[in-house]
Amino acid sequence: MKGEHVPRADALVFTFDGYELDGARFELRHNGERVAIEPQVLSLLLLLAENRDRMVSKDELIEHVWDGRIVSETAVAARIKVARRAVGDTGSAQKVIRTIHGKGFRFVAETGVTGTLEKPRPARSGLMTEEQAAPAIEDVLKSARDGRPSIAVLPFQYFGEPGRHEIVADALPADIIADLSRLHWLFVIARGSSFRFRGHDVDPLSIGRQLGVRYGLTGTVEVSGESVTIGVSLIDMTSGGTIWVEQYRGNLTELHQLRPEIESHVVASLAVQIPQNEVRIARRRAPGELDAWACFHLGLDHMYRFNRQDNARAAALFTQSLESDRYFSGAMGGLSFTHFQSAFMRFGEDPEAEVEQARTLAQQAVETDRLDPFAHFNVGRCSWLEGRLEESIAWFDRATSLSPSFAQGVYTRGLVSVMAGKADEADTDLTLALDLSPLDPLAYGMVSARALVQLQLGNRDRAQELAVKAALMPGAHKHIALIAALTSHLVGKDADARRWLARAQQADPAISSEVFFASFPFAENSARETLEKGLRDLGV
């Protein structure tokens, strides 16, 4: 740490304005009552109090509270805001934490310092005692995270002969932490805190209480001869139950190439598994108990069903979420998605107005949080419906640069590339999207888009196989059925074509070539000509 130090904060109790900041117990109390506060925010307060005789720079905060990983100024400001709220301070009053603009922060409250009778926290050895534990999990999860799901990625356990491959047990989870931190809807415990829990005897429930998290990611690295097996598990830290498991196998010589693939797949899988579990949790709550994040996740669940009723329900839930937190970029993006869907599926009478509303909300989401890939994704979708395909692809490039494992961003870039006539580029993206998220709620769209790629490449039999596969998948909507009908007709399977066309018309009696190309504005090229002729032959 830069600068000089007073004795370590974990051996002291700082008292100010009725508050006690207890390093040994690792807790904050107000008038003797424990304050529910995140471990990261508590660490921030302890760092500032420990160095109250000087300014703590932003770089120093990041180094010690975020374990040196790259974070935005917005993230630092958000943690400072939560810390102020926890000690009864505000950004305007600054009676406890003063901002030194452009430089850092200083703890300015008149503070008493006493020793503590509690033993200091162990530096690195497994679990704390119950007396040293953080606030109860139920209290912490209701605290300043505003309902956001939270996760700790623990160091993986290594089994095998010691050697140069042993470092993977730390390197892989560290990479996963960095990638998960790009998911703004997920609160990720910093490596410096989660890596304190090592060994075979760690207890998920105890770790959950101490770190104040709902989820934990654990893993193993097993080396035997020339083969390596890496296993990962997503654990519910409030019950100890296992939510998701996966194993990856390969040759030791492939470990360097395997590692980033595993990282991307794990992150993409968690981006599906955690929201699904959050939906299950939210459904057990009474409507009046739903916070902004619970409404958001429930909204996503309805949004991906692609029918009029669920789309309206999703819009209502995103609106309710924004009523709780009007700066919630995710809920803005979700509401934008529902307006996009109304235009795409022709749920409303004025598709152009729906697209305009979708764009307004998506741009507001970008302005609220420029690091949110979902926000950029939604702007790109609006450009797609307006026929500005290259502009749309550029927005998806931004979304995937912010989160390389954002499977839906990769998929939609591939789909728009199909419409732009870039079949090879599209197939690369669509294959990657399915690898990243094989259980994605839009997986049927990924497979159907691959059918359109094969059609452009002249592989009509393969196109028909993929199109029918997509149409049989859960969630497939009228356009997916129409693509199955079209490709079946092009390979001479007229009975299948009539059956799939009937399904599309059952979902929307008004479906037509005009409706299809309004939703998929293909560029004027030979691929579009093939589609237009096929649809004319089908009589739509």
- In tens, the pLDDT along 126-170 reads 333 333 333 444 444 444 345 678 999 999 998 988 777 788 888
| Same domain for 422 and 388 | no
In a domain? residue 137: no
In a domain? residue 377: yes
Higher pLDDT, 201 or 366: 366
Question: Who's near 360: CB < 8 A, 6+ residues apart?
Answer: 336
Number of residues that make up the chain: 540
CATH assignment of the domain containing 523: 1.25.40.10
How deeply is 338 buried, as exposed, middle or buried, from its count of CB atoms within 10 A (0-12, 13-18, 19+)? buried
- In tens, the pLDDT along 61-100 reads 887 787 656 666 777 888 898 899 899 998 888 999 999 8
Q: Look at residue 199 in the predicted model and tell me its pLDDT.
A: 66
| Same domain for 333 and 438 | no
Structural domain ending residue among the three candidates 347, 381, 399: 399
| Same domain for 47 and 76 | yes
State pTM to two decimals: 0.65
User: How much of the chain exceeds pLDDT 90, in percent?
Assistant: 53
Q: Look at residue 11 in the predicted model and tell me its pLDDT.
A: 54
| Same domain for 240 and 358 | no
Distance CA 331, CA 479 (A): 26
- Of the spans 21-25, 160-164, 469-473, which averages the highest pLDDT? 469-473
Distance CA 292, CA 200 (A): 37
CATH assignment of the domain containing 273: 3.40.50.10070
In a domain? residue 138: no
Closest C-alpha among 149, 202, 208 to residue 180: 149
- In tens, the pLDDT along 166-183 reads 888 888 998 899 888 888
Higher pLDDT, 139 or 445: 445
| Same domain for 147 and 278 | yes
In a domain? residue 306: yes
| Same domain for 289 and 271 | no
User: Are 84 and 102 contacting, i.e. CB atoms less than 8 angstroms apart?
Assistant: no
Q: Average pLDDT for residues 326-331, to the nearest whole number?
A: 90
Residue 184: pLDDT over 50: yes
Q: Which residues are 114's β-sheet partners? A: 13
User: How much of the chain exceeds pLDDT 70, in percent?
Assistant: 90
| Same domain for 409 and 348 | no
Q: Which helix (H) or strand (E) holds 345?
A: none
Q: Band of the pLDDT at 317, cuts 50, 70, 90?
A: very high
Query: 58-65 and 39-50 are packed helices; what angle lies between their axes, rounded to 10 degrees?
Result: 130
| Same domain for 269 and 211 | yes
Q: Look at residue 121 in the predicted model and tell me its pLDDT.
A: 36
Describe the strand order of the beta sheet including 19-22 as a list of residue ranges. Answer: 33-35, 27-30, 19-22, 12-16, 112-115
In a domain? residue 122: no
Closest C-alpha among 95, 69, 68, 75 to residue 84: 95
Q: Look at residue 205 in the predicted model and tell me its pLDDT.
A: 81
Note the Cα 157 to chain centre separation in Å. Answer: 25
Residue 119: pLDDT over 70: no
Q: Average pLDDT for residues 37-49, to the nearest whole number?
A: 85
Q: Look at residue 38 in the predicted model and tell me its pLDDT.
A: 75
Higher pLDDT, 186 or 492: 492
Strand 97-100 versus strand 104-107 pairing type = antiparallel
Q: Look at residue 71 in the predicted model and tell me its pLDDT.
A: 64
How much is the mean pLDDT over the chain? 86
Structural domain ending residue among the three candidates 230, 261, 283: 283
In a domain? residue 198: yes
Distance CA 42, CA 272 (A): 30
| Same domain for 468 and 433 | yes
- In tens, the pLDDT along 272-288 reads 999 989 988 888 877 77
- In tens, the pLDDT along 360-409 reads 999 999 999 888 899 999 999 999 999 999 999 999 999 999 888 889 99
Distance CA 343, CA 488 (A): 27
| Same domain for 430 and 380 | no
Q: Spell out the long-range contacts of 502-508 with Cβ–Cβ below 8 A and sequence spacing 24 or more.
A: 503/471, 503/478, 504/478, 504/479, 507/477, 507/478, 507/481, 508/345, 508/346, 508/478
Angle at 257 between CA 255 and CA 260, to 5 degrees: 100
In a domain? residue 134: no
Structural domain ending residue among the three candidates 283, 315, 338: 283
Q: Look at residue 286 in the predicted model and tell me its pLDDT.
A: 78
Q: Look at residue 128 in the predicted model and tell me its pLDDT.
A: 38
Q: Look at residue 436 in the predicted model and tell me its pLDDT.
A: 85
Q: What is the DSSP string of 395-452?
A: HHHHHHHH-TT-HHHHHHHHHHHHHTT-HHHHHHHHHHHHHH-TT-TTHHHHHHHHHH
* Number of domains making up the chain: 4
Residue 10: pLDDT over 50: no
CATH assignment of the domain containing 111: 1.10.10.10
Q: How many CA atoms lie within 13 A of 283 on its CB side?
A: 11
In a domain? residue 124: no
Q: Which helix (H) or strand (E) holds 128?
A: none
Higher pLDDT, 318 or 63: 318
| Same domain for 190 and 88 | no
Q: Look at residue 22 in the predicted model and tell me its pLDDT.
A: 84
Give the 3-state DSSP-derived string for 225-292, with helices as H, strands as E and coil as C. Answer: CCEEEEEEEEEECCCCCEEEEEEEEEEHHHHHHHHHHHHHHHHHHHHHHHHHHHHHHHHCCCHHHCCH
Q: Average pLDDT for residues 190-198, to the nearest whole number?
A: 81
Q: Which has the minimum average pLDDT: 38-52, 131-145, 374-388, 434-448?
A: 131-145
Q: Look at residue 252 in the predicted model and tell me its pLDDT.
A: 86
Q: Look at residue 392 in the predicted model and tell me its pLDDT.
A: 97
Closest C-alpha among 152, 253, 151, 131 to residue 194: 152
Question: Who's near 332: CB < 8 A, 6+ residues apart?
Answer: 318, 322, 361, 362, 364, 365, 368, 375
Distance CA 174, CA 156 (A): 10
| Same domain for 277 and 171 | yes
Q: Look at residue 9 in the predicted model and tell me its pLDDT.
A: 43
Q: Look at residue 495 in the predicted model and tell me its pLDDT.
A: 96
Q: Provide the token pair at 392.
A: 């749309």
Which residue range is the domain that position 379 belongs to?
285-399
Q: Look at residue 147 in the predicted model and tell me its pLDDT.
A: 65
Q: Look at residue 127 in the predicted model and tell me its pLDDT.
A: 36
Q: C-alpha dihedral over 285, 289, 295, 298, to 10 degrees? A: 10
Closest C-alpha among 271, 267, 262 to residue 179: 267
